[in-house]
Structure 1
Amino acid sequence: MPTSDGALAGIRVVDLSRVLAGPLCTQMLADHGAEVIKVEPPAGDETRGWGPPFLGDGTSAYFNGLNRNKRNIVLDLAAPEGQATLGRLLEDADVLVENFKAGTLAKWGFDDDHLRRVYPRLVHSRITGFGVDGPRGSAPGYDAILQAYAGLMSINGDSDGPALRVGVPIVDMVTGMLSFSGIMLALHERHRSGHGQLVDNTLLDTAVTLLHPHSATWLASGQVPERTGSAHPTIAPYDTFATRDGPLFLGVGNDRQFRDLVDVLGKPELADDPRFVTNPDRVINRAELSAIVGALLAEHEREALGARLLERGVPSSPVHDVGETLTDPQVLHRDMVVSDGDYRGIGIPIKLTRTPGSVRTPPRQRGADTADVLRELDGS
């Protein structure tokens, strides 16, 4: 595989994870130069079959978006031979990432005490749904389950409709990013102590963290938040509105922005209306304000109006679909869509000026590097 001079060059990662949170974490490590060896079971990472769509080599688009820049080997970790090979891999590894159910690694001979004793410099990133102990410890966790369990669904959706799942696996994705951050912290601390440690991330902890500002509201007042659709519970106008040619989102965060909004809409006197002078006034009178602003916006075309609002510093945006986003000039300018031969993927969001990340190889076929990695372990 092509080498990298990225920020994490020289770091070796053994990736036992599958599905989303772990593979996203290890892809971020790989993008920034770490050597990541993805270990798949004989049956493969289940997301290889999560389609359609599938690419020409039979790989699902889902898997393709999470596993670039990694070497790939197949080990049967339930068998003694696979366990022995894993032990040899860990001898030279800096990081182990896994998201097995509690007790699985221990069953294979790699419990926490063993890892600390035999591989004292190893940073062990463990990702679980609820943790490994406590009243719900060891229970399986999936993104949508945690969205329901931790209250995220309860605040997502219209006030008169059902609770809804966020349209992306947000808990899994943020957990992967927090795991990446935790690994960076542990590697940094290892320079001082010489020792690795366990990085313990759960989907539950992530989902609870994502509840802000609703969690802060409940902690301060005991008030259970209600669903508000696209509207913000404590800011107005902050919502989606119809224009002549499509929806436009407004995010008016302060009184100056509101004054500029109504000036652009030709109704500057609204800024001095006692119902709307301050943000608390506007939140209390949200329904009346939304009706007035909605009627004014309906007279405009969204691109032209959006440009005028941005000139005045009023945050707004057309509501883009995914295709519009991935062909947007600013998205392309930021290199957030990458192409290399047959591979197309999302770009690298952490941009370093001196040691930038890079996309070097597409996701590998299952077991494509098994023979090479085993030869390296044997020193041949």
Structure 2
Amino acid sequence: MMTTHLIGPLDRFRVLDLTRIRSGPTCVKQFADWGADVIKIEPPDDASGYADRDSSDFQNLHRNKRSLTLDLKSADGRDILMRLVDKSDVLVENFRPDVKKRLGLDWDSLHARNPKLVLGSISGFGQTGPYAERPGFDQVAQGMGGLMSVTGLPGQGPVRVGIPVADLTAGMFCATGILMALLDRERTGVGQWVQSSLLQAQVAMLDFQAARWLIDGVVPEQAGNNHPTAVPMGVYPTSDGSMNIAVTGNRMWQDFCTVIDRTDLADDARFATARLRLQHRDELNALLFDITRTRTSADLTDALIATGIPCGPINKIDAVFADPQVAALGLVVEIEHPKRGTQRVLGQPIVLSGATPVMHSATPDAGQHSDAILQELGLSTDEVAALKERKVV
């Protein structure tokens, strides 16, 4: 019988988590936070390769799970895993294709065992194709997927984004796919194999930059803090720092000129349309920089917001979490950890009118719930002890 800790929209599902590093845990976190019974399968004897389970990164990724240690190289370990597969709705893994085949965790084997199971697979480059067996890494995907070519100042050379965007989006895409497969299973009674990869996710996230090439035949270049296709939009200096300003459309451009007390610019033939402003970007920005430098960030922000022009500060991370709007959105939640005490972790950026994610438990120690999970499978205390003696658990 499934043990749950939270009544939530996903509390009827059991998810087996065989993922590691970041993309897979990002996927599984969506299920753990919304009530699913997530069982994290880990090697015994702390052989998982994690240097510090109490680190802030690990704690943020693996909350709300139960941990079962299993030696999947042993027949007994694989047998226990298959018994869990029989009673589960989802299994998520990010092994290379050859590894999961060797462990019997390939789609054909799992689907034959439990036709209702949804398998979520995240890889570096996809399950097929010439790169399928390659190991994946976020920065490699950022480079191969084009992101580093459009990030940074013009002529600077390739620049990585400051977050593991390929890992994170691959995890989110996979979670979305799993949810769709679970919905479809309600109609068909059959699970599906959901696949995503770092490269697929990164290419998909190119969005309008990809469209510029696919539709317009333009190869985007680095634009720095300027928006690639809109002016004025980007970082503007102020007397006490800098801020982001986003002016879109001719009407907003006219309002902006009024705010900065330069209505003459609205009538200037060089800047009369969005296309002309883009053509004269450097000339226009040079004029605007001299103007915005005479205003404080707060003063200019207030004036622009009053006119309906999007703008905002450029915060360091500490300032982000000091922002009253961030606090109002509930993006930080507290959770009790047996060693670290009360710690703050990132909450969910999704709001549902009928449910709230609850941080019911901190990231578990390896094997913290092994006894309970094995007993749920019907194993006796003696059988569990024997498995531990053989280092299967």
Q: Which residue of 2 aligns with 1:104?
A: 99
Please list, as runs of the form range in 1=range in 2, the aligned pairs for 1:2-41 lying within 5 A after superposition.
3-41=5-43
TM-score under structure 2 normalisation? 0.92
Q: Matches of residues 307-318 of structure 1 in structure 2 within 5 Å?
A: 307-318=302-313
**Number of positions where the alignment pairs a residue of Structure 1 with one of Structure 2:** 372
- Within the candidate set 60, 64, 69, 1:65 is matched to 60
Deviation of 1:379 (Å): 5.8
Is 1:193 paired with 2:195? no
Alpha-carbon shift at residue 340 of structure 1 (Å): 2.9
1:240-259 alignment runs, 5 A limit: 240-259=235-254
User: Following the alignment from structure 2 to structure 1, what is the Cα–Cα distance between the partners of residues 355 and 267?
Assistant: 52
Structure-1 separation of matches of 2:95 and 2:26: 15
Which residue, out of 191, 209, 213, partners 1:214?
Answer: 209
The residue identity in structure 1 corresponding to 2:213 is: W
AA aligned to 1:31 is: D
Do 1:2 and 1:360's aligned partners in 2 also have CA atoms closer than 8 Å?
Answer: no
Q: Secondary structure at the match of 1:282?
A: helix
Q: Which amino acid is the alignment partner of residue 276 of structure 1?
A: F
Letter in 2 for 1:346: L
* Secondary structure, aligned partner of 1:275: helix
CA separation in 1, counterparts of 2:43 and 2:290?
58
CA distance in 2, matches of 1:44, 1:8: 30
Give how far 1:157 is off: 0.6
Deviations 1:279-318, CA, capped at 9 Å, x for gaps: 1111010001110111100001102211211111111111
Does structure 1 conserve the Cα–Cα contact (< 8 Å) formed by 2:7 and 2:35? yes
Aligned positions of 1:1-380 closer than 5 A = 3-42=5-44, 43-46=46-49, 48-49=50-51, 59-341=54-336, 342-378=342-378
Q: CA deviation at 1:223?
A: 2.2
Task: Provide the C-alpha distance between the structure 2 equivalents of 1:35 and 1:158, rounded to a whole number of angstroms.
Answer: 46
1:137, 1:109 → 2: CA distance?
A: 18
- Gap regions ≥5 residues in structure 2: 337-341, 381-393
Counterpart Cα distance in 2 of 1:379 and 1:332: 46
Query: For residue 374 of structure 2, what is the amino acid of its counterpart?
Result: L
Kept in 2, the 8 Å contact 1:7–1:357? The answer is: no
Deviates more, 1:340-349 or 1:320-329: 340-349
The code of the aligned residue for 1:3 comes to H
Task: Say whether the 8 Å CA contact 1:186–1:199 is kept in structure 2.
Answer: yes
By how many angstroms is 1:174 displaced? 0.9
CA distance in 2, matches of 1:345, 1:370: 25
Cα distance change, pair 44–263 in 1 and its aligned pair in 2 (3 A): farther
The answer to whether the 8 A contact 2:13-2:36 is kept is yes
Which residue matches 1:55? Answer: none
What CA deviation, in whole Å up to 9, does each residue of 1:147-184 have, x standing for no partner? 01111101101002111001000111111111110011
C-alpha change, 1:266 and 1:127, in structure 2 (3 Å) is same
Query: For the residues of structure 2 that align with 1:64 and 1:268, how far apart are their CA atoms?
Result: 53
Pairwise CA distance, 1:144: 0.3
1:2–1:244 CA distance, 2 compared to 1 (3 A): farther
**Cα distance, 1:44 vs structure 2:** 4.8
SS at match of 2:159: coil
Deviation at 1:110, TM superposition (A): 2.8
- Per-residue CA deviation, residues 100-152 of structure 1 (Å, 9 max, x unaligned), is 01121221223321111111000000000111221111211111000011111
1:128 and 1:138 map into 2 onto residues whose CA distance is 9
SS of aligned partner of 2:360: coil
Report the identity percentage.
Answer: 37
Query: Contact (CA 8 Å) 2:14, 2:88: kept in 1 or not?
Result: yes
